């Protein structure tokens, strides 16, 4: 039955064609295998190309990320370097600034030969008054000026209450621990957190003596001229004729009187006494320049402060009198009466 077609036989998809069936089946298998292998190779080749492109994309992205990180790190390092340089420049400039400040305050430095022992008051947390610290050891004077007499001295870092200021704010009226008042240069204070412009202006503050003027010696043109030329001299302090004085004070709305005793040593006046009529203990400090007297009376009773009075007057006449003006400060630091004063 070689010329018959039978179904259900395995091989060649159930196809048997007579005696040629096996040959045709083998040829068909070889043909299908050839095309199938080519399709597989093409598929594998396309997949490899896609993988290569993906890998190249990943590498490019990693490279871009690394470059961005390097640029960011460089920017951070540059900013840190600039900050460090700015800090160094600030540190180098600071000592010079401090030196300039100290030099500006130096004119009222304490004279080690004055005999005044500097004190160091501390801050009073219960004080309702503004307080300033002293950044340099400095004098406390009986008036707002370096020609006024030094009556005390403050060590660096002392803290004192401020009662008032002079008109231009260059001097501050302060209270000392013993209850007396005095003036310090604003330039030697460290008023951090304190508004000096808000302080009240003291009424009729003491007037300091004018600074001494230098006298120039003329240059002689010849020996004869040198012999005939004398060097002018500044007049020395007028010598007071007595040590006990009655001082009358006249002011708006009243008058008062003190009996004081003090001695003169060159240009310096000092003393202490008890005025039983006024029931006051009186400490006197002052100076004489030419015929001008600047004198301060510090008042107390049984150790309790009663304020102070400063007179500035001129010596004249025979017997001598001293006439001038006065200002005063109350025991609580407020400004007291002012008016005229006369010593007899």
Task: For residue range 227-274, list pLDDT tens digits in order.
Answer: 545 555 556 899 999 999 999 999 988 999 999 999 999 999 999 999
**Percent of the chain with pLDDT strictly greater than 70:** 64
Residue 33 maps to a domain: no
Residue 18's pLDDT is: 45
pLDDT of 268-311, one tens digit each? 999 999 999 989 999 999 999 999 999 999 999 988 999 999 99
170 shares its domain with 249: no
CATH number at residue 251: 2.40.128
Residue 5's pLDDT is: 39
Report residue 114's pLDDT band, with 50, 70 and 90 as the boundaries. confident
Residue 73's pLDDT is: 74
Residue 90's pLDDT is: 56
Residue 96's pLDDT is: 40
256 shares its domain with 324: yes
Containing structural domain, residue 160: 105-202
191 shares its domain with 246: no
pLDDT for 333 beyond 80: yes
Report the alpha-carbon distance of residue 196 to residue 200 in Å, rounded.
Answer: 9
273 shares its domain with 336: yes
What's the mean pLDDT when you consider all of the chain?
77
Residue 211 maps to a domain: no
Asked if residues 191 and 132 have their Cβ atoms less than 8 Å apart, the reply is yes
CATH number at residue 180: 2.30.30.40
239 shares its domain with 154: no
Residue 228 maps to a domain: no
243 shares its domain with 336: yes
Residue 208's pLDDT is: 92
Highest mean pLDDT among 100-109, 168-177, 221-230: 168-177
Residue 310 maps to a domain: yes
Residue 25's pLDDT is: 55
Instruction: Choose one of 202, 223, 251: the last residue of a domain.
Output: 202
Instruction: Choose one of 202, 225, 259: the last residue of a domain.
Output: 202
Report the alpha-carbon distance of residue 293 to residue 287 in Å, rounded.
Answer: 6
Tokens of 329: 């400060």
pLDDT of 65-78, one tens digit each? 777 777 777 666 66
pLDDT for 111 beyond 50: yes
Burial of 227 (0-12, 13-18, 19+ CB in 10 A): exposed
Residue 72's pLDDT is: 72
- Report how many domains make up the chain: 2
245 shares its domain with 177: no
Tokens of 216: 């120039």
181 shares its domain with 241: no
Cα four-point dihedral sign 93, 98, 102, 104: positive
Residue 26 maps to a domain: no
Report residue 109's pLDDT band, with 50, 70 and 90 as the boundaries. confident
pLDDT of 31-50, one tens digit each? 655 555 554 444 445 555 55
196 shares its domain with 290: no
Residue 323 maps to a domain: yes
239 shares its domain with 339: yes
166 shares its domain with 248: no
193 shares its domain with 113: yes
Residue 172 maps to a domain: yes
Residue 129 maps to a domain: yes
């Amino acid at each position: 039955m070689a010329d018959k077609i039978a179904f259900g036989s395995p091989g060649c998809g159930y196809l048997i064609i007579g005696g040629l069936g096996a040959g045709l089946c083998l040829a068909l298998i070889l043909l299908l295998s050839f095309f199938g292998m080519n399709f597989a190779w093409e598929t594998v080749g396309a997949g490899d190309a896609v993988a290569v492109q993906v890998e190249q994309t990943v590498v490019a992205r990693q490279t871009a990320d690394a470059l961005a990180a390097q640029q960011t790190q460089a920017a951070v390092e540059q900013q840190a370097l600039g900050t460090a340089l700015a800090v160094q420049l600030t540190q180098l400039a600071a000592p010079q600034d401090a030196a300039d400040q100290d030099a500006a305050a130096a004119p009222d430095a304490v004279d080690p030969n004055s005999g005044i022992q500097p004190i160091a008051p501390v801050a009073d947390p219960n004080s309702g008054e503004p307080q300033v610290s002293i950044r340099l050891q400095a004098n406390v004077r009986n008036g707002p000026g370096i020609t006024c007499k030094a009556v005390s001295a403050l060590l660096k870092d002392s803290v004192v209450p401020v009662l008032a200021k002079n008109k231009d704010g260059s001097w501050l009226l302060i209270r000392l621990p013993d209850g007396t008042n005095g003036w310090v240069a604003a330039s030697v204070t460290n008023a951090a957190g304190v508004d000096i412009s808000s302080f009240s202006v003291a009424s009729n503050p003491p007037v300091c003596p004018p600074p001494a003027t230098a006298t120039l010696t003329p240059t002689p043109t010849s020996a004869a001229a040198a012999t005939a030329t004398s060097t002018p001299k500044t007049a020395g302090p007028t010598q007071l004729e007595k040590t006990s004085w009655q001082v009358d004070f006249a002011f708006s709305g009243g008058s008062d009187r003190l009996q004081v005793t003090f001695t003169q040593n060159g240009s310096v006046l000092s003393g202490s006494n008890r005025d039983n009529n006024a029931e006051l203990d009186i400490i006197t400090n002052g100076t004489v320049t030419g015929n001008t007297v600047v004198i301060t009376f510090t008042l107390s009773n049984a150790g309790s402060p009663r304020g102070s009075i400063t007179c500035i007057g001129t010596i004249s006449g025979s017997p001598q009198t001293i006439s001038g003006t006065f200002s005063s400060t109350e025991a609580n630091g407020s400004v007291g009466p002012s008016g005229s004063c006369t010593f007899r």
